[in-house]
Amino acid sequence: MTNTLVKHFDRNVQGRDFAVGDIHGMYSMLEDMLDRVQFDPDRDRLFCVGDLIDRGPESDRTLEFLAYEWFHAVQGNHERMLIESAQDPDGLENWTTNNGGEWWLDIDTGTQSVFRKAIDALPIAMEVETEAGLVGIIHADIPAETSWSDFLDLMKDDKYLQYYAVWSRNRLRRAETEGDVTPVEGVRLMIVGHTPLRQAAQMQNIYYLDTAAAYWEEVDGAKLSLLEFSPRLELTCMETHGALRVY
């Protein structure tokens, strides 16, 4: 892994900060949502919780969005599958056959190389200063017994924690038996994706933002969710069915 694992952003004193759930190649839909909230690329910023690629129809537009100065993202498990497939033929077959990576086989090797470099450069975690306090952004989760700052320190030398950050669902699974999730110490809010939910939801100080946007054929009410988290907290959702363009 050649990326900087953690990226820090100072407070946005000119505009708003948004986070979007797992995009999964639904970029035209994201553009529609940004129009709806009157997103201003000269003042506002957009942060993605990862899983930029696969499942949806426009994974090839990921490089376009990563080139925008106002767009920032962490790696998700689908980005990890892309990176690791370079050295793992079995993983490549599994990803492109069973996990939405078919699009990868349709692009030339030169573009594949550019993709791998851009995706590998993405951080595992981002933190954003806001007037109300620090906001952490990660794809999946951090261990429930670990504070945000401790996790960032430990992750630098711990491959297991890096894996945990993009794959784990342990906190939500524990909540199924314990009745609520464990809050994260050291942040005002931690925004995550990875686990598709019927509705975006804040549980304690964790905001779950993956609402199955690319699963419109399997999930009734599949939607893309966009959260303004600074200076206010406001959720905007758009259902995939009926809003999906013909590509």
Q: What is the reported pLDDT for 233?
A: 97
pLDDT recorded at residue 216: 87
- Mean pLDDT confidence for 58-86: 97
Structure-token match 């925004």, residue found = 191
CA distance 214 to 211: 9
Name the nearest CA neighbour of 216 among 24, 19, 6, 9.
24
> What is the domain partition of the chain in residue ranges?
6-239
Q: Which of 33-37, 67-71, 172-176, 210-214 bottoms out in mean pLDDT, i.e. has the lowest?
A: 172-176
| 103, 104, 212 from 107: Cα distances, Å | 7, 6, 25
Share of the chain above pLDDT 70, in %: 96
Q: Give the tens place of pLDDT for each residue, 165-220.
A: 999 999 998 888 888 899 999 999 999 999 999 999 999 999 999 999 999 888 88
Task: Read off the pLDDT band of 247 (50, 70, 90).
Answer: very low
Q: What is the pLDDT of residue 1?
A: 42
Q: How many Å apart are CA 27 and CA 36, to the nearest integer?
A: 14
* Average pLDDT value for residue range 148-173: 95
- Which strands, in side-by-side order, build the sheet including 45-48? 71-73, 45-48, 17-20, 223-230, 234-239
Residue 142's pLDDT band (cuts 50, 70, 90): very high
Which residues participate in catalysis according to the annotation? 78
The domain made up of 6-239 is a member of CATH 3.60.21.10: yes
Instruction: State the DSSP string of 43-111.
Output: T-EEEE-S--SSSSS-GGGHHHHHTSTTEEE---HHHHHHHHGGG-HHHHHHHHHHSS-GGGGGS-HHH
* pTM as predicted: 0.95
pLDDT of residue 179: 82
